[in-house]
């Protein structure tokens, strides 16, 4: 360091986003409603991207019902709760998930909601996350269900949000509401759809069509379809056994569908490094 240059005060650095491109490598997995397969999708997408040679961080931001560790049977020594309590830095709670070839930051289940945290603390945590994100090709975030702005505020400007919906009426209305409030807050938000638990491709397309039509009509925005994942009984099996789905059922329908989703994402986005995907 040039001794004539005054050192930048540490606190200021931490309170500002790392750079103009920070967050571009972030994929948020969101839904209006719980129980649509968001956590499973976040894990399996991270796993699939890692298999396609990306360096991936999976971040559990579902502070109310964090359960990435539960689905994978992980026993992390430290989690996000220790970061929030200011015991350690975020980079110190990264757990290596060797089997999947990607890194995980385990959430802090039952420790209250993101909304309880206070704006300033949340903003500090976001800065820490975006700085850490620069070490990765991709960061996949399992956002909590719900419409509160605190949940959505983890979404960086340049990142992409995959809204997961199923053909259940409540999932459709909640996905629509999620897109609506997100667009009101940030009209340039990059919102895309993934249909989960589809009986088959055609039914998934119909579900997408209904949701896209509502968005087009009332929001003047048509979120693109990124993928359809079929209903697959191998998923509850893998979750029950607390094993990574792609390791246990690599040839299953849902595994193929998530690989296709990962490929689509890679084709349609530029990696943070600026290299074509």
Q: In the complex, what is the shortest distance from the CB of residue 113 to Mg ion, in angstroms, rounded to a whole number? A: 14
109 binds Mg ion (CB under 5 A): no
Q: Which is nearer to ligand ADP, 18 or 80 (CB)?
A: 80
Position closest to Mg ion via CB = 39
Q: In a 3-state reduction of DSSP, which class is residue 173?
A: helix
In this structure, the number of other CB atoms found within 10 A of the CB of residue 95 comes to 20
- Rounded CA-CA distance 220/158 in Å is 21
Q: Which is nearer to ligand ADP, 180 or 230 (CB)?
A: 230
Q: Count the site residues for Mg ion by CB under 5 A.
A: 2
Interacting span for Mg ion (CB under 5 A) from 35-43, 212-220, 228-236, 244-252: 35-43
39 binds Mg ion (CB under 5 A): yes
- Segment (H or E) for 59: strand 56-61
Q: Which is nearer to Mg ion, 39 or 155 (CB)?
A: 39
Structure tokens that stand for 206 in this block? 């119909």
Q: In the complex, what is the shortest distance from the CB of residue 143 to ligand ADP, in angstroms, rounded to a whole number? A: 10
31 binds Mg ion (CB under 5 A): no
In this structure, the number of other CB atoms found within 10 A of the CB of residue 52 comes to 15
44 binds Mg ion (CB under 5 A): no
Q: What residue ranges bind ligand ADP (CB under 6 A)?
A: 31, 34-40, 196-197, 229, 231-232, 235-236, 239, 254
Between strands 138-143 and 26-30, the pairing is parallel
Q: Which is nearer to ligand ADP, 102 or 272 (CB)?
A: 102
The four Cα atoms 62, 31, 57, 259 give a dihedral, to 10 degrees, of 140
Q: In the complex, what is the shortest distance from the CB of residue 65 to ligand ADP, in angstroms, rounded to a whole number? A: 7
25 binds Mg ion (CB under 5 A): no
Q: In the complex, what is the shortest distance from the CB of residue 208 to Mg ion, in angstroms, rounded to a whole number? A: 22
Provide, for the chain, the percentages of residues in helix, strand and coil under a 3-state DSSP scheme, each rounded to the nearest 5: 45, 15, 40
- Rounded CA-CA distance 38/161 in Å is 12
Under DSSP, the state recorded for 25 is T
Q: Which is nearer to ligand ADP, 36 or 191 (CB)?
A: 36
Contacts with 85 (C-beta within 8 Å, 6 or more apart), sequence order: none
């Amino acid at each position: 360091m040039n001794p004539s240059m005054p050192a930048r005060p540490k606190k200021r650095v931490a309170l500002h986003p790392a750079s103009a491109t920070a967050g571009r490598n972030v994929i948020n997995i969101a839904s209006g409603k719980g129980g649509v397969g968001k956590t499973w999708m976040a894990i399996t997408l991270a796993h699939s991207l890692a298999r396609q040679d990306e360096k991936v961080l999976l971040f559990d931001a579902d502070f109310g019902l964090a359960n990435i560790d539960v689905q994978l049977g992980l026993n992390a020594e430290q989690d996000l709760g220790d970061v929030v309590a200011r015991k350690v830095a975020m980079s110190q709670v990264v757990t290596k998930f060797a089997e999947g070839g990607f890194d995980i930051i385990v959430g802090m289940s039952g420790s209250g909601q993101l909304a309880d945290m206070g704006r300033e603390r949340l903003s500090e945590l976001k800065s820490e996350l975006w700085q850490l994100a620069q070490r990765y090709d991709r960061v996949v975030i399992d956002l909590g269900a719900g419409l509160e702005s605190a949940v959505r505020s983890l979404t960086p400007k340049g990142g992409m949000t995959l809204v997961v919906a199923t053909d259940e009426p409540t999932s459709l209305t909640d996905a629509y509401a999620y897109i609506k409030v997100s667009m009101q807050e940030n009209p340039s938000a990059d919102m895309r759809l993934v249909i989960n638990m589809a009986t088959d491709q055609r039914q998934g397309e119909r579900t997408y069509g209904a949701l896209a039509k509502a968005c087009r009509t009332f929001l003047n925005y048509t979120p693109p379809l990124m993928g359809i994942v079929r209903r697959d009984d191998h998923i509850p099996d893998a979750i029950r056994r607390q094993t990574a789905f792609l390791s246990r059922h690599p040839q299953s329908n849902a595994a193929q569908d998530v690989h296709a989703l990962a490929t689509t994402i890679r084709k349609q986005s530029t990696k943070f490094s600026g290299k074509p995907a």
